[in-house]
Structure 1
Amino acid sequence: MKNLRFTRAAIVAASFVIFLSGPVRAQDAGCQTERSKMLGFLSGTWTVQSDFRMSRNPEVWESTEGTSVIEPVFPGCLWKETLSGTREGKPITVAGLFGYSNISDKFQHTWAHSNHGVLTFYEGVFEEESLVFSAELIVGERKILFRKVIQRTAEGFDARTERSVDGGESWDTGWKVSYRRAKAGK
Protein backbone atom coordinates (compact mmCIF):
# COMPACT_ATOMS: atom_id res chain seq x y z
CA MET A 1 0.00 0.00 0.00
CA LYS A 2 2.89 2.33 0.79
CA ASN A 3 4.32 1.94 -2.74
CA LEU A 4 0.89 2.63 -4.26
CA ARG A 5 0.66 5.95 -2.36
CA PHE A 6 4.15 6.86 -3.49
CA THR A 7 3.30 5.96 -7.09
CA ARG A 8 0.12 8.09 -7.00
CA ALA A 9 2.02 11.00 -5.46
CA ALA A 10 4.74 10.67 -8.10
CA ILE A 11 2.16 10.61 -10.91
CA VAL A 12 0.38 13.68 -9.50
CA ALA A 13 3.68 15.54 -9.06
CA ALA A 14 4.86 14.60 -12.57
CA SER A 15 1.50 15.70 -14.01
CA PHE A 16 1.84 19.12 -12.38
CA VAL A 17 5.39 19.50 -13.67
CA ILE A 18 4.31 18.58 -17.21
CA PHE A 19 1.20 20.78 -17.00
CA LEU A 20 3.12 23.78 -15.68
CA SER A 21 6.05 23.42 -18.07
CA GLY A 22 3.76 23.14 -21.15
CA PRO A 23 2.54 26.76 -21.11
CA VAL A 24 6.04 28.05 -20.36
CA ARG A 25 7.43 26.27 -23.41
CA ALA A 26 4.56 27.59 -25.55
CA GLN A 27 5.23 31.11 -24.32
CA ASP A 28 8.95 30.76 -24.99
CA ALA A 29 8.16 29.68 -28.55
CA GLY A 30 5.92 32.70 -29.05
CA CYS A 31 3.11 32.91 -31.55
CA GLN A 32 5.40 32.60 -34.59
CA THR A 33 4.86 29.50 -36.73
CA GLU A 34 5.85 28.51 -40.25
CA ARG A 35 2.28 29.34 -41.35
CA SER A 36 2.22 32.74 -39.60
CA LYS A 37 5.50 33.70 -41.27
CA MET A 38 3.76 33.31 -44.65
CA LEU A 39 2.29 36.79 -44.04
CA GLY A 40 5.75 38.39 -43.91
CA PHE A 41 5.51 39.50 -47.56
CA LEU A 42 3.04 42.19 -46.39
CA SER A 43 5.71 44.03 -44.36
CA GLY A 44 7.01 47.30 -45.72
CA THR A 45 6.30 50.85 -46.73
CA TRP A 46 4.16 50.91 -49.84
CA THR A 47 2.96 53.35 -52.47
CA VAL A 48 -0.68 52.48 -52.96
CA GLN A 49 -2.81 52.98 -56.07
CA SER A 50 -6.50 52.72 -55.06
CA ASP A 51 -9.49 52.38 -57.32
CA PHE A 52 -12.78 52.88 -55.44
CA ARG A 53 -16.08 52.03 -57.07
CA MET A 54 -18.23 55.15 -56.72
CA SER A 55 -21.38 53.77 -58.38
CA ARG A 56 -22.56 50.61 -60.09
CA ASN A 57 -24.94 52.06 -62.65
CA PRO A 58 -23.30 53.69 -64.47
CA GLU A 59 -20.04 52.10 -63.34
CA VAL A 60 -17.81 54.91 -62.06
CA TRP A 61 -14.42 54.48 -60.39
CA GLU A 62 -12.19 56.97 -58.58
CA SER A 63 -8.41 56.46 -58.73
CA THR A 64 -6.21 57.88 -55.98
CA GLU A 65 -2.73 57.38 -54.55
CA GLY A 66 -1.72 56.89 -50.96
CA THR A 67 0.79 55.31 -48.63
CA SER A 68 0.61 52.17 -46.53
CA VAL A 69 2.92 51.05 -43.75
CA ILE A 70 2.62 47.41 -42.70
CA GLU A 71 4.83 46.46 -39.78
CA PRO A 72 5.08 43.66 -37.25
CA VAL A 73 3.41 44.03 -33.88
CA PHE A 74 4.64 40.59 -32.78
CA PRO A 75 7.46 39.65 -35.21
CA GLY A 76 6.52 36.78 -37.50
CA CYS A 77 3.06 36.66 -35.97
CA LEU A 78 0.90 39.77 -36.19
CA TRP A 79 1.17 42.78 -38.52
CA LYS A 80 -0.60 46.13 -38.43
CA GLU A 81 -1.40 48.28 -41.43
CA THR A 82 -1.99 52.02 -41.55
CA LEU A 83 -3.02 53.23 -45.00
CA SER A 84 -3.50 56.94 -45.74
CA GLY A 85 -5.01 58.41 -48.88
CA THR A 86 -8.01 60.29 -50.20
CA ARG A 87 -11.50 59.37 -51.31
CA GLU A 88 -13.80 61.88 -52.97
CA GLY A 89 -11.17 64.53 -52.26
CA LYS A 90 -11.26 63.88 -48.49
CA PRO A 91 -8.67 62.13 -46.33
CA ILE A 92 -9.25 58.45 -45.60
CA THR A 93 -7.33 56.24 -43.19
CA VAL A 94 -7.49 52.46 -43.09
CA ALA A 95 -6.33 50.52 -40.02
CA GLY A 96 -5.90 46.77 -40.18
CA LEU A 97 -4.37 43.72 -38.53
CA PHE A 98 -3.14 40.52 -40.19
CA GLY A 99 -2.37 37.32 -38.30
CA TYR A 100 -2.65 33.56 -38.20
CA SER A 101 -4.60 31.38 -35.76
CA ASN A 102 -2.93 28.07 -35.05
CA ILE A 103 -6.20 27.06 -33.34
CA SER A 104 -8.41 27.38 -36.44
CA ASP A 105 -5.52 26.99 -38.93
CA LYS A 106 -6.79 30.12 -40.70
CA PHE A 107 -5.25 33.44 -41.55
CA GLN A 108 -7.09 36.34 -39.95
CA HIS A 109 -7.61 39.95 -40.94
CA THR A 110 -9.60 42.74 -39.40
CA TRP A 111 -9.86 46.29 -40.65
CA ALA A 112 -11.86 49.48 -40.63
CA HIS A 113 -11.65 52.79 -42.43
CA SER A 114 -12.37 56.34 -41.34
CA ASN A 115 -15.36 56.78 -43.70
CA HIS A 116 -17.57 54.13 -42.07
CA GLY A 117 -15.72 52.94 -38.98
CA VAL A 118 -17.17 49.43 -39.27
CA LEU A 119 -14.79 46.77 -37.97
CA THR A 120 -14.91 43.67 -40.17
CA PHE A 121 -13.30 40.36 -39.16
CA TYR A 122 -12.17 37.98 -41.91
CA GLU A 123 -10.70 34.48 -41.90
CA GLY A 124 -8.86 33.07 -44.86
CA VAL A 125 -6.66 30.55 -46.58
CA PHE A 126 -4.13 30.51 -49.39
CA GLU A 127 -5.79 29.32 -52.60
CA GLU A 128 -3.13 28.73 -55.24
CA GLU A 129 -1.23 32.06 -55.35
CA SER A 130 -3.88 34.15 -53.59
CA LEU A 131 -4.67 34.78 -49.95
CA VAL A 132 -8.48 34.77 -49.78
CA PHE A 133 -10.22 36.19 -46.71
CA SER A 134 -13.98 35.96 -46.21
CA ALA A 135 -16.54 37.40 -43.81
CA GLU A 136 -20.30 37.43 -43.37
CA LEU A 137 -22.49 40.31 -42.24
CA ILE A 138 -26.19 40.20 -41.42
CA VAL A 139 -27.99 43.50 -42.10
CA GLY A 140 -31.65 43.22 -41.14
CA GLU A 141 -32.85 40.14 -43.02
CA ARG A 142 -30.03 40.25 -45.59
CA LYS A 143 -26.85 38.21 -45.43
CA ILE A 144 -23.93 39.89 -47.19
CA LEU A 145 -20.73 37.97 -47.91
CA PHE A 146 -17.45 39.85 -48.10
CA ARG A 147 -14.20 38.70 -49.57
CA LYS A 148 -10.73 40.24 -49.68
CA VAL A 149 -8.31 38.68 -52.16
CA ILE A 150 -4.58 39.41 -51.94
CA GLN A 151 -2.29 38.30 -54.72
CA ARG A 152 1.49 38.65 -54.72
CA THR A 153 3.11 40.34 -57.71
CA ALA A 154 6.74 40.88 -58.74
CA GLU A 155 6.57 44.48 -57.43
CA GLY A 156 4.51 43.85 -54.25
CA PHE A 157 0.90 42.71 -54.11
CA ASP A 158 -2.60 43.56 -55.29
CA ALA A 159 -5.77 43.40 -53.22
CA ARG A 160 -9.44 43.70 -53.97
CA THR A 161 -12.52 43.73 -51.79
CA GLU A 162 -15.70 42.14 -53.04
CA ARG A 163 -19.22 41.53 -51.79
CA SER A 164 -22.01 39.16 -52.67
CA VAL A 165 -25.71 39.47 -51.83
CA ASP A 166 -26.67 36.17 -53.52
CA GLY A 167 -24.78 33.69 -51.34
CA GLY A 168 -21.56 33.85 -53.35
CA GLU A 169 -23.05 33.19 -56.80
CA SER A 170 -21.75 36.55 -58.04
CA TRP A 171 -19.28 39.05 -56.62
CA ASP A 172 -19.11 42.85 -56.94
CA THR A 173 -15.67 44.44 -56.65
CA GLY A 174 -15.74 47.64 -54.60
CA TRP A 175 -12.08 48.46 -54.12
CA LYS A 176 -8.93 47.53 -56.02
CA VAL A 177 -5.55 48.35 -54.49
CA SER A 178 -2.01 47.90 -55.86
CA TYR A 179 0.84 47.96 -53.33
CA ARG A 180 4.31 48.78 -54.68
CA ARG A 181 7.45 49.22 -52.56
CA ALA A 182 7.96 52.90 -51.78
CA LYS A 183 11.17 54.32 -53.14
CA ALA A 184 13.71 55.51 -50.56
CA GLY A 185 13.19 59.14 -49.57
CA LYS A 186 9.45 59.18 -50.29
Structure 2
Amino acid sequence: MTSLPDIQLETENLVLRIPQARDFDAYCTFALDPVRAAGFGVEKDRPQAWRWFASNLGHWVLHGYGYFTMEWKATGAPCGITGIWNPEGWPEPEIGWVVYEAFEGRGIAHEGASRARRWAYEELGFTTLTSNIVPGNTRSVALAERLGAWFERRYDNVQMGEEMLYRHPGPADLRDARP
Protein backbone atom coordinates (compact mmCIF):
# COMPACT_ATOMS: atom_id res chain seq x y z
CA MET A 1 0.00 0.00 0.00
CA THR A 2 1.23 3.46 -0.89
CA SER A 3 1.07 5.99 1.93
CA LEU A 4 0.48 9.69 2.11
CA PRO A 5 3.55 11.91 2.20
CA ASP A 6 4.55 13.45 5.51
CA ILE A 7 4.38 17.15 4.68
CA GLN A 8 3.56 20.15 6.81
CA LEU A 9 4.24 23.73 5.76
CA GLU A 10 3.90 26.82 7.91
CA THR A 11 3.32 30.50 7.36
CA GLU A 12 2.85 33.30 9.86
CA ASN A 13 -0.80 32.37 10.49
CA LEU A 14 -1.29 28.96 8.88
CA VAL A 15 -0.29 25.34 8.95
CA LEU A 16 -0.70 23.62 5.57
CA ARG A 17 -1.06 19.88 6.08
CA ILE A 18 -2.45 16.73 4.51
CA PRO A 19 -6.22 16.58 5.10
CA GLN A 20 -7.51 14.43 7.93
CA ALA A 21 -10.98 12.98 8.58
CA ARG A 22 -11.64 15.71 11.18
CA ASP A 23 -11.44 18.30 8.35
CA PHE A 24 -14.35 16.87 6.41
CA ASP A 25 -17.22 18.73 8.08
CA ALA A 26 -15.67 22.14 7.36
CA TYR A 27 -14.98 21.15 3.74
CA CYS A 28 -18.48 19.69 3.37
CA THR A 29 -20.15 22.87 4.64
CA PHE A 30 -18.26 24.79 1.95
CA ALA A 31 -18.87 22.24 -0.83
CA LEU A 32 -22.64 22.15 -0.27
CA ASP A 33 -23.01 25.94 -0.39
CA PRO A 34 -24.19 26.79 -3.94
CA VAL A 35 -22.92 30.36 -3.75
CA ARG A 36 -19.56 29.85 -2.04
CA ALA A 37 -18.60 26.69 -3.96
CA ALA A 38 -19.76 27.90 -7.39
CA GLY A 39 -16.21 28.50 -8.62
CA PHE A 40 -14.89 25.24 -7.19
CA GLY A 41 -17.67 22.75 -7.83
CA VAL A 42 -20.85 22.52 -5.78
CA GLU A 43 -21.64 19.07 -4.42
CA LYS A 44 -25.26 17.87 -4.16
CA ASP A 45 -24.93 16.08 -0.81
CA ARG A 46 -22.51 14.85 1.88
CA PRO A 47 -21.69 11.59 0.07
CA GLN A 48 -20.64 13.51 -3.05
CA ALA A 49 -18.58 15.93 -0.97
CA TRP A 50 -16.93 12.92 0.67
CA ARG A 51 -16.03 11.52 -2.77
CA TRP A 52 -14.12 14.71 -3.64
CA PHE A 53 -12.51 14.82 -0.19
CA ALA A 54 -11.35 11.21 -0.54
CA SER A 55 -10.23 11.74 -4.14
CA ASN A 56 -7.98 14.54 -2.92
CA LEU A 57 -6.25 12.04 -0.62
CA GLY A 58 -5.90 9.66 -3.58
CA HIS A 59 -4.43 12.53 -5.60
CA TRP A 60 -1.81 12.93 -2.85
CA VAL A 61 -0.97 9.22 -2.99
CA LEU A 62 -0.74 9.09 -6.80
CA HIS A 63 1.02 12.42 -7.43
CA GLY A 64 2.74 13.27 -4.15
CA TYR A 65 0.80 16.55 -4.02
CA GLY A 66 -2.78 17.78 -3.79
CA TYR A 67 -4.85 20.20 -1.75
CA PHE A 68 -3.61 20.92 1.75
CA THR A 69 -5.96 21.71 4.59
CA MET A 70 -5.13 25.21 5.75
CA GLU A 71 -5.32 25.29 9.54
CA TRP A 72 -5.55 28.56 11.46
CA LYS A 73 -2.59 28.43 13.87
CA ALA A 74 -4.31 30.37 16.64
CA THR A 75 -7.14 27.84 17.02
CA GLY A 76 -6.23 24.73 15.02
CA ALA A 77 -9.46 25.10 13.02
CA PRO A 78 -9.52 24.23 9.32
CA CYS A 79 -9.95 27.53 7.50
CA GLY A 80 -9.71 26.49 3.85
CA ILE A 81 -7.76 24.47 1.31
CA THR A 82 -4.96 25.27 -1.11
CA GLY A 83 -2.53 23.28 -3.15
CA ILE A 84 -1.66 21.74 -6.48
CA TRP A 85 -4.32 19.89 -8.45
CA ASN A 86 -3.80 17.95 -11.66
CA PRO A 87 -6.38 15.17 -12.13
CA GLU A 88 -6.97 13.32 -15.37
CA GLY A 89 -8.26 15.74 -18.02
CA TRP A 90 -6.64 18.89 -16.57
CA PRO A 91 -4.50 20.88 -19.02
CA GLU A 92 -1.59 21.05 -16.55
CA PRO A 93 -0.94 21.43 -12.80
CA GLU A 94 -3.01 24.15 -11.17
CA ILE A 95 -2.72 25.98 -7.89
CA GLY A 96 -6.09 26.57 -6.30
CA TRP A 97 -7.51 27.96 -3.08
CA VAL A 98 -10.69 28.08 -1.03
CA VAL A 99 -11.28 29.98 2.21
CA TYR A 100 -14.11 28.93 4.48
CA GLU A 101 -16.70 31.58 5.27
CA ALA A 102 -15.77 32.28 8.90
CA PHE A 103 -12.19 33.07 7.83
CA GLU A 104 -12.82 35.51 4.98
CA GLY A 105 -10.95 38.81 4.95
CA ARG A 106 -7.76 37.68 6.70
CA GLY A 107 -5.51 37.23 3.66
CA ILE A 108 -5.56 33.44 4.10
CA ALA A 109 -5.90 32.55 0.41
CA HIS A 110 -2.89 34.69 -0.55
CA GLU A 111 -0.80 33.49 2.38
CA GLY A 112 -1.58 29.82 1.82
CA ALA A 113 -1.38 29.83 -1.99
CA SER A 114 1.93 31.71 -1.93
CA ARG A 115 3.41 29.08 0.39
CA ALA A 116 2.00 26.15 -1.60
CA ARG A 117 3.34 27.64 -4.84
CA ARG A 118 6.80 28.11 -3.32
CA TRP A 119 6.74 24.49 -2.12
CA ALA A 120 5.75 23.26 -5.61
CA TYR A 121 8.65 25.15 -7.17
CA GLU A 122 11.31 24.49 -4.53
CA GLU A 123 10.46 20.96 -3.43
CA LEU A 124 8.59 19.40 -6.36
CA GLY A 125 10.60 21.06 -9.12
CA PHE A 126 7.65 22.56 -10.98
CA THR A 127 8.63 25.27 -13.44
CA THR A 128 5.15 26.65 -14.08
CA LEU A 129 1.67 26.59 -12.57
CA THR A 130 -1.73 27.85 -13.61
CA SER A 131 -4.92 28.81 -11.84
CA ASN A 132 -8.09 27.78 -13.63
CA ILE A 133 -10.89 30.21 -12.84
CA VAL A 134 -14.57 30.14 -13.73
CA PRO A 135 -15.61 33.30 -15.62
CA GLY A 136 -17.21 35.78 -13.23
CA ASN A 137 -15.15 34.69 -10.21
CA THR A 138 -13.70 38.17 -9.77
CA ARG A 139 -12.26 37.47 -6.31
CA SER A 140 -10.15 34.56 -7.61
CA VAL A 141 -9.04 36.62 -10.61
CA ALA A 142 -7.97 39.42 -8.26
CA LEU A 143 -6.01 36.98 -6.09
CA ALA A 144 -4.37 35.30 -9.10
CA GLU A 145 -3.26 38.73 -10.33
CA ARG A 146 -2.06 39.68 -6.85
CA LEU A 147 0.06 36.50 -6.94
CA GLY A 148 1.55 37.76 -10.22
CA ALA A 149 -0.45 35.54 -12.59
CA TRP A 150 -1.80 36.79 -15.90
CA PHE A 151 -4.67 35.70 -18.15
CA GLU A 152 -3.38 33.36 -20.83
CA ARG A 153 -6.42 31.77 -22.48
CA ARG A 154 -9.85 30.23 -22.11
CA TYR A 155 -10.28 26.48 -22.25
CA ASP A 156 -12.96 23.84 -21.68
CA ASN A 157 -12.50 22.23 -18.24
CA VAL A 158 -13.74 18.63 -18.23
CA GLN A 159 -15.50 19.24 -14.89
CA MET A 160 -16.50 22.90 -14.87
CA GLY A 161 -16.99 23.90 -18.52
CA GLU A 162 -15.35 27.08 -19.80
CA GLU A 163 -12.62 28.45 -17.56
CA MET A 164 -9.96 31.11 -17.76
CA LEU A 165 -6.39 29.89 -17.38
CA TYR A 166 -4.10 32.26 -15.47
CA ARG A 167 -0.34 31.61 -15.74
CA HIS A 168 1.79 32.11 -12.63
CA PRO A 169 5.32 33.47 -12.76
CA GLY A 170 7.95 30.73 -12.70
CA PRO A 171 10.44 30.13 -9.89
CA ALA A 172 13.16 32.28 -11.45
CA ASP A 173 10.73 35.18 -11.88
CA LEU A 174 9.74 34.94 -8.22
CA ARG A 175 13.38 34.82 -7.08
CA ASP A 176 14.21 37.84 -9.20
CA ALA A 177 11.28 39.76 -7.68
CA ARG A 178 12.37 39.18 -4.07
CA PRO A 179 13.93 42.20 -2.34
Question: What TM-score, normalized by structure 1, do the two folds share?
Answer: 0.30
Which one has a bigger Cα radius of gyration? 1
Structure with bigger RCO (C-alpha 8 Å, 6+ apart): 2
Question: What TM-score, normalized by structure 2, do the two folds share?
Answer: 0.31
